[in-house]
């Protein structure tokens, strides 16, 4: 997966918007105004890309034990976020699964009203 594929994949999800709320380097994808995926553009240019993804706390621990490429979230809550490195022992297929998991967790946490607005706007 490259940055363009990541960008297109995330933006294709219902209600997703892109932002640079911290600086011009950190690309953030949000659903319903809440972050689910962050990445450093500079790290992609340096060929050392990674993503910060929200994760169920128990699953986060399991993933960290299973994959060297999955570490506690850099500059994030270590309980709810993982940093996933692309140049590690994890497949693109698994990264896609983790992006989906992060999106679904955040979408599920949205208010009923916001979920309905997203559903309406997608139809």
Q: Smallest Cα–Cα separation from 53: which of 19, 100, 88, 91?
A: 100
- For residue 103, pLDDT beyond 80: yes
In the predicted structure, residue 123 carries a pLDDT above the cut 70 = no
What is residue 39's predicted lDDT score, i.e. its pLDDT?
Answer: 97
Q: Which of 46, 57, 54, 67 is nearest to 110 (CA)?
A: 54
φ and ψ at residue 109, rounded to 5 degrees: -85, -10
Q: List all residues 6 or more positions away from 122 whose beta carbon is below 8 Å from its beta carbon.
A: 14, 15
Q: Is pLDDT larger for residue 123 or for residue 86?
A: 86
Q: What does the longest C-alpha to C-alpha distance in the chain come to?
A: 41
Task: Tell me the C-alpha to C-alpha distance, in Å, between residue 5 and each of 1, 18, 72, 80.
Answer: 6, 14, 24, 25
Q: What is the mean pLDDT of residues 63-72?
A: 96
DSSP assignment, residue 73?
Answer: P
pTM: 0.94
Distance CA 114, CA 93 (A): 29
Could you give the domains of the chain? Answer: 3-117 (3.90.1150.30)
Q: Is 24 helix (H, G, I), strand (E, B) or coil?
A: coil
> Is residue 90 within a helix (H) or strand (E), and if so which, with residue range?
none
């Amino acid at each position: 997966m490259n940055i363009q594929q990541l960008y297109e994949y995330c933006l294709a999800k219902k209600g997703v918007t892109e932002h640079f709320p911290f600086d011009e380097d950190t690309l953030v994808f949000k659903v319903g105004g809440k972050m689910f995926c962050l990445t450093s553009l500079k790290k992609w240019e340096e060929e050392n890309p990674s993503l910060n993804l929200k994760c169920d706390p128990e699953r986060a621990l399991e993933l960290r034990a299973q994959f060297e490429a999955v570490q506690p979230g850099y500059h994030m809550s270590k309980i709810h976020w993982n940093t996933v490195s692309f140049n590690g022992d994890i497949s693109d297929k698994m990264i896609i699964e983790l992006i989906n998991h992060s999106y679904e967790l955040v979408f599920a946490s949205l208010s009923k009203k916001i979920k309905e607005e997203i559903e309406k706007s997608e139809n």
